Chains A and B, each alone.
Chain A
Amino acid sequence: MREGAFSKHASRFVMYAFLIFVSLMSVFPLYWAFISAFNNTQQILGGRMIPSTHLIENLTNLFAQQDVWRAMKNSFATSLLQVVLSLAVSSIAGYGFEIYHDKYKDGVMSVIMLAMMVPFVAVLVPLFQLFSKLGLLNSWIGFFLPSLATPFLIMYFRNSARSFPKDTIEAARIDGLNEFQIFVKMFVPMMKPTYASAATITFMNAWNSYLWPKVIMQTSEATTMPMLVSNLMAGYVIDYGVVMAGVTLCSLPTIIIFFLLQKSFTNAVAGAVK
């Protein structure tokens, strides 16, 4: 009995130690970027691990060189729009594929899966051709249209819909709800954790997307945060302090979004327990 208690304590200790170790490893690079925003180039290249006094200077330089507010605004607008639209389009499709599945729809699904197997570099030029013909260069629509419906999100929602109980659907039908209402009123609320994680990931991908925006958005009006940060790396002389200040600012929103949305994961546990 005592031995059991001891090993239980020991395993708890090991577990916490493990988690703390993993967390430290994970956080370290971001910590580095953050404290480097307080340092100058020489200190950063010298590997200084503690903050110095150059934060204000770095930030002043950053804001003097670049229109940070505009980039933030652009990044937020495009990312949020993409999250909302992309979740709407992809989740209803995933739901449709799973709940009403038959061999034709499964067939379509396998074909759609093919779409995610093309390296993006390969379709960059034909896609640009298409958008220039449609007159969508330099537009926000052009920015997120290609990544609105992603095979990945469709598949994710399709697989998650598998755990959506069939009798709930039947019951709803008897209550007189139509198919679309069932989706909106039953599926969406029940799948909150799925939506939360999908939103987190989509926001992150949209926020960090780089290759496509820099091809399609050809005016500085449309600069996004990742473009701004990479602009800082141009030139013969790189001020790493300013770069790191930029990197920190660029990483903050994704962290905040994750903080906000992870509540949905947790809440669902409480629901399951009771």
Chain B
Amino acid sequence: MKKLVSLFLILTMILSCTAALAAEDGKITIWTWDPNFNIAAMNVAKEMYNKDHPDVEIIIEEVLSEDVETRVITAASAGDISNLPDIMLIQDNSAQKFILSYPEVYADITGKYDFTDFAEGKLAYSIVDGKNYGVPFDAGTTVGTYRTDYLEAAGYTIDDMTDIDWDRFLEIGRDVKAKTGMPMLSAQAGAVDTVLIMMQSCGASMFNEDGSVNFTNSDVCKTVLEYYKTMVQEGILIEVNTWDEYCGTLSNGSVVGTINGCWILGTIMGVEDQSGKWALTNIPKLPGIETATNYSNNGGSSWVFTNGTDIDLALDFMQAYRNVDFYNEILPTTSAIATWAPAKEGSNYTAGNDFYSGDAIFAKIVDYTAKVPANQTGAFYYDAREALGTALTNYINGADLESELANAEDTVNFAMGF
């Protein structure tokens, strides 16, 4: 017994020694950008970690998302990545592009972190060639959220909007428009967010498995564009010029609702006098498509790690992202919703939300997240996205769909042949 105790003592001494040694240069630098969102989340993680590891210095620097990208590009191209931080946040849609273009910058963390219970669709964004490069941060899970007072005025409830398809959505939209004069949705002109949401809900993306672009041969893509145009033409979806205007339509109540990534709730719940007037559900699915679901994703971001830094320390710190208490604590202040399923057990997730008339919307969203089909982004995501946007704009203005899609495909192929 005595021996056992002394062994234990020696072991703890050795452990604490190595811990002390590690603490000597225990420093983690993080680049991230939103003080009310991901910075706030990282601050909570920092506090939690420093409680057990007071010697590890954690520096959180505010760097705009575009600036993170610009700095990575310039640093990698100059062959000097020594100034990059240990951990940086990256937009999910950019992740594969950056990992493919600058493989020497990002550390492969496969097998070094436990990814069980993270939503598959979310993880896919930062997986390249079957290897994990990122730890998920927030969900971009899409929600359909509508003003109940407007729906009621036309004789509908939120249940009428749940688990429906786009044909039914159009019917309701026409009826609501006729009765109240209100459009159902708004979107930024030229932005393809809504279109891509609809595509991903079928597990479709702008690319084939082999990475080649897929517009002209994609029935999903064509169907989606047709539905979108119909909605615009019938005034069920109104197009506005800018993001500010889009937010304006929500806050001043000139549309019934919106279909977007769940992060839009921050904007909606920011208008306090509309409390109790909103309800939330899943999104319509595409009729006639076998793989169609009522779930999709738009936006979101993940943490990635720089090669050559102390990855083990960084990943140890990142254990917060597998911690119910962490997600529970950041939820009320940041509205960042977990993509790690067990998080929905947290008290803040299961509690009813006052703004949403007591509905436990956050637990609901974590459930949706698990059902989002994975999609392919690849290195040419933004090229394809822009080309599709051009095609969409021209198509709405009366151009032929087939030839516009062929043009868009040409544009992306052109970019690919570099």
Chain A contact residues, CB within 8 Å of chain B: 41-42, 45-46, 65-66, 124-125, 128-129, 132-133, 137-138, 214-215, 218-220, 223, 227, 230-231, 234-238, 240
Contacts and interface: CB of A to CB of B under 8 A. Distances in A.
A208 to B, nearest CB: 16
Contacts of B271: 42
B64 A234 contact: yes
Interface string B48-82: 00000000000001111101001101110111100
Nearest to B299: A236
B312 interface: no
B287 interface: no
A231 B264 contact: no
Nearest to B80: A132
B248 A230 contact: no
Given A45-B252, A137-B83, A214 B70 contact: yes
Given A236-B267, A237-B267, A240-B244, A128 B78 contact: yes
A125 B64 contact: no
Given A45-B244, A45-B248, A125-B77, A231 B64 contact: yes
Contacts of B267: 236-237
B218 interface: no
B33 A234 contact: yes
B332 interface: no
Interface residues of B, number: 34
B103 interface: no
A132 B78 contact: yes
Contacts of B36: 65, 235, 237
A128 B74 contact: yes
B270 interface: yes
A215 B64 contact: no
B62 A235 contact: no
A138 B82 CA distance: 13
A220 B62 contact: yes
A45 B67 CA distance: 26
Interface in B281-317: 299
A66 B39 CA distance: 12
Nearest to B85: A218
Contacts of A230: 64
Nearest to B243: A238
B247 A45 contact: yes
B62 A231 contact: yes
B247 A218 contact: no
12 contacts: A41-B251, A41-B270, A45-B245, A125-B77, A128-B77, A132-B75, A132-B78, A220-B61, A230-B64, A231-B62, A234-B34, A240-B244
B266 A45 contact: no
A236 B263 contact: yes
Nearest to A232: B35
Nearest to B33: A234
Contacts of A219: 61
A271 B64 CA distance: 50
Contacts of A235: 33-37
Interface centre among B62, B74, B80, B245 (most CB of A within 10 A): B74
B78 A65 contact: no
Interface centre among A46, A137, A237 (most CB of B within 10 A): A237
Contacts of B71: 214-215, 218
A41 B270 CA distance: 9
Contacts of B264: 236
A125 B74 contact: yes
A252 B114 CA distance: 51
B251 A45 contact: yes
Interface string B244-259: 1101100110000000
Contacts of B67: 214
Contacts of A231: 33, 62, 64
Question: Which 7 A-B pairs give the minimum distances between C-beta atoms?
Answer: A235-B34, A237-B266, A45-B248, A129-B78, A236-B263, A128-B74, A234-B33
Given A220-B62, A234-B33, A236-B267, A215 B74 contact: yes
A84 B131 CA distance: 53
Contacts of A138: 83
B269 to A, nearest CB: 9
Nearest to B269: A237
Interface in B12-50: 33-37
Contacts of B251: 41-42, 45
Contacts of B63: 220
Contacts of B75: 128, 132
Contacts of A46: 248, 252
A236 B34 contact: yes
Contacts of B64: 214, 227, 230-231, 234
Given A45-B244, A125-B78, A128-B78, A218 B83 contact: yes
Contacts of A218: 71, 83
